[in-house]
Structure 1
Amino acid sequence: MQIKNVFKILSVKKSTFILSTYNIRLGDFKVQKIVPITILMLSIFLLLTSCNKTNWIENFREKEKSPFGTYIVYNEAQELFKNEEVVFLRDNFYDYLFKNYDSINGDFGNYICIKHNANKLPIDGITDLLSFVNDGNTAFLALNYFNKNLLEQLDFTTNNLDKEVYSINDLRPLKGEFYLNDNRFKKDTFKFDRNIRRHYFVTYNEDKTIVLGSSKIDGEKVPNFIKIYHGKGAIYLHANPVVFTNYYLLKDTEKYTEHVLSYLPSSTLLWDPQIKYSNYSNNREDNQQSIFKFFLEHQTLTWFLFVGLAGVLLFMLFNARRKQRAIPVIHPLKNTTVAFTQTIASLYLKEQNHKNLVDKKITFFLEKVRTKYLLNTNNLNKEFIHNLALKSGNEIRNTKYLVNTIITLHKKSECTQEELLVLHKMIANFFKN
């Protein structure tokens, strides 16, 4: 499905005053003066009252016409997916499937959710969504934050270098360049001038995942749009939902949205605005509110709740004054070894001094050989390699390769990150036996 020129119909209509010319034969020139002055005053009043402060908060709300609302893509879904039924969910997706899944026989179509996070989709909802996809349907999730349960079940991880950035002023300088891997769009570069968090996919199961798009971060292209096959269906994941908001759909970047959504198959569409929590899930996050609702639905429990609260208040009132001096809590000394180690590791990582780390790994290895196998490490000759292989239970070939690597890296003045990783893995594998 290829969607073309969808957003051209969203051009802004400007209100205009149409003035008619009248021939006044009464000779009263004052009447001719009043009409332009009245129109001028009315125009100034409308201009002043229409100047509202722009809301730059990322709300992703379908009814918001602010820059980072999703009013346009939400209301133009029918135009985006022509000849297809679009169902705007008024209930939680889990509840919708709970009530309708038997009637749709598991073959319904596409599910779309464009939000900061899908926090109103409970764990049961995630499971049902994946079952929905497994039956041959499709899901499209564009989120800044992916649920931990979803990460585990689909076997992928993400990284957000700007996860601590929330203020409008801090988000504004964040720019980005996006690319699509399809041959039709491979030569196109889509540039976005603000609010582009450096959010991307780090690991994923390559056997069932296709990278459809990427973004450039620090000069390197990293995946930010992927397709994961799940059962008979597939789920599309996008790491930058802000590109689907009103701001970018009216800023000559609507082609990107058009191309991304064109990957979805032609089928009925379930658009999830995330407006309600589930009424049926046992593990939804607002269960604490439902407990009080249950108490208030029964008169006896309601009286019990009020009497209990009154008793607690009376207890607090009569015991407000302390009967004895408060005993200060003396906390034991904290073990900061792990924090210290993390600080030192961060320092080495920042300095990129791989040679220093290589020398320390070699020192660690030789010290462990001396203490564990009681061998002299002053001369790393053939006899040392033979004795070390016998005592450690490793093959002579692997032991010789490890010792020669240690000698080579020790003589070098500089080492690369790859050489450090190879040495680390070799030492780890050596001590496993």
Structure 2
Amino acid sequence: MKIETYIIKGILFLGIILQLTSCKKTNWDENFREKEKSPFGTYIVYNEANKLFKGQEIVFLKENFYDYIYDSKEVNKDKLFNYICIKSSTNKLTKSGVNSLLSLVYKGNNAFLALNYFSDELREKLDFTTNNLDKDVFTVENLKKLKGKFYLENTHFNNQPFKFDRNIRRNYVVTYNEKTTVVLGKTEIGGEKLPNFIKIYYGKGTVYLHTNPIVFTNYFLLKGTENYVENVFSYLPENTVYWDPQIKKSKYANESDKDNDSIFNFFLQHKTLTWFLFVSSAGLLLFMLFNARRKQRAIPIIKPLENTTVAFTQTISSLYLKEQDHKNLADKKIAFFLEKVRTKYLLDTSILNKDFIEHLAAKSGNKIENTNYLINTIITLHKRPECSQEELIVLHKMIENFFNK
């Protein structure tokens, strides 16, 4: 009996050790992968698509959407469809890929894109801009603190708030073409409701853009917010659904788009980096050209005293540029804006409340919504200890547009 007891105890002990050692640490990375059952994978929404789109044909793409539509013999090219993509970004969607997608939308199809980052090409084509106040937040601990409330504008939803308890970046739409765009949903930021879900008419079709793809992941679908996802997808018409989990390269891509891993291709996909590449190349060429000349002893030139105010200003601006002190520049832009408001519109800028915004909009001739965005951005940037280059550029453009009205 004692031997049997020891054997049983040994088996139980071994079972406990195996149980403890087999536990895997939870993966909190925002991977958006359809095969991932981790919190921020898209396994559930991918596998429950048939229930979300009842009675609709659903095709899970394993190749580039453009190639599938034009190469597959089973596809009825005259039949309208809904293209769906939920990712953090669309880095693999090149310039020709954006043109291909939008050309299909133009013919009457629909595209639903839920992304954290939209490419410059897509923003330029659809005439909208976004701002992500938490784009520099990456750690699990800091992302866990980001909570949010979303609203759907349709009266059927009774302005009901949908609450999300983590990883909700303050990512919203800043500007859009009011003639072609309808705001379908908003996110609450600093007490203001700002667009995060919009519908853009493009030709005969429509593009739906959502700035918070995280709400479609496993974690939130198991937290009681599945109604929000159902309501968002309810805006799509009852067409065939092409679900694109991984955006593949197209065999019809231009030669310049085929090697997406090329560093030069990466530079050419972004306008600012493209200009940096051109200017750097031109500077290097000029340097080599002038240094190739035979050098001779320089003849000193004695110049008269001159006004160095411009040079001093250039030196100070170069110092700011070198130090990358965006927060300091943002504070100065804000101070300049408030001073101009005081002198031009004779308004007290000590309290930036709702009454101030209404008076400022009335006196300046700007829309109350645009004025709200500007003052909200100023308050947010003023309180924060740091400011990114993109946020500084957005602030500058908003101030310029405000005074050019």
Report the RMSD for the aligned CA atoms in angstroms: 3.7
Contact residue 90 and residue 247 of structure 2 kept, 8 A: no
For 2:162, the equivalent position in structure 1 comes to 190
Gaps of 5+ in 2: 263-311, 351-355, 367-398
Q: Tell me how many residue pairs correspond in the alignment.
A: 312
- Match status 1:118 vs 2:90: yes
100-109 vs 134-143, which moves further = 100-109
Cα offset for 1:191? 0.8
- Match status 1:169 vs 2:141: yes
- Match status 1:284 vs 2:268: no
For 1:146, the equivalent position in structure 2 comes to 118
Deviations 1:304-361 (A, max 9, x none): xxxxxxxxxxxxxxxxxxxxxxxxxxxxx9944546598775224555872x3357xx
- Match status 1:347 vs 2:303: no
TM-score by length of 1: 0.63
Q: Distance in 1 between matches of 2:33 and 2:182?
A: 29
Cα offset for 1:39? 6.6
Deviations 1:19-66 (A, max 9, x none): xxxxxxxxxx67985896477346424522441011111111111111
TM-score by length of 2: 0.67
Cα offset for 1:203? 1.1
Deviations 1:235-281 (A, max 9, x none): 11100000000111111111111111111111211011125323331
For 1:368, the equivalent position in structure 2 comes to none
Deviations 1:206-245 (A, max 9, x none): 1221111111000000010111112222111100000000
Cα offset for 1:143? 0.1
Cα offset for 1:413? 6.5
- Match status 1:91 vs 2:91: no
Q: 3-state SS of the aligned residue for 2:188?
A: strand
270-279 vs 43-52, which moves further = 43-52
The 1:98–1:174 alpha-carbon spacing in structure 2 relative to 1, beyond 3 Å, is same
- Match status 1:206 vs 2:178: yes
Contact residue 62 and residue 71 of structure 1 kept, 8 A: yes
The 1:247–1:429 alpha-carbon spacing in structure 2 relative to 1, beyond 3 Å, is closer
The 1:213–1:104 alpha-carbon spacing in structure 2 relative to 1, beyond 3 Å, is same
Q: Distance in 1 between matches of 2:257 and 2:348?
A: 58
- Ranges of 4+ aligned residues in structure 1 off by more than 6 Å: 341-344, 422-425
The 1:414–1:136 alpha-carbon spacing in structure 2 relative to 1, beyond 3 Å, is closer
Out of 274, 280, 299, the position equivalent to 2:246 is 274
For 2:340, the equivalent position in structure 1 comes to 357
Q: Distance in 2 between matches of 1:182 and 1:287?
A: 40
- Match status 1:158 vs 2:130: yes
Q: Distance in 2 between matches of 1:422 and 1:136?
A: 38
- Read off the aligned partner of 1:286 and give its amino acid letter: D
For 2:215, the equivalent position in structure 1 comes to 243
Q: 3-state SS of the aligned residue for 1:184?
A: helix
Residues 24-423 of structure 1: pairs in structure 2 closer than 5 A: 37=9, 40-41=12-13, 43-100=15-72, 103-274=75-246, 276-282=248-254, 283-284=256-257, 286-287=259-260, 335-338=314-317, 346-350=330-334, 354=338, 356-358=339-341, 409=346, 418=360
The 1:334–1:166 alpha-carbon spacing in structure 2 relative to 1, beyond 3 Å, is farther
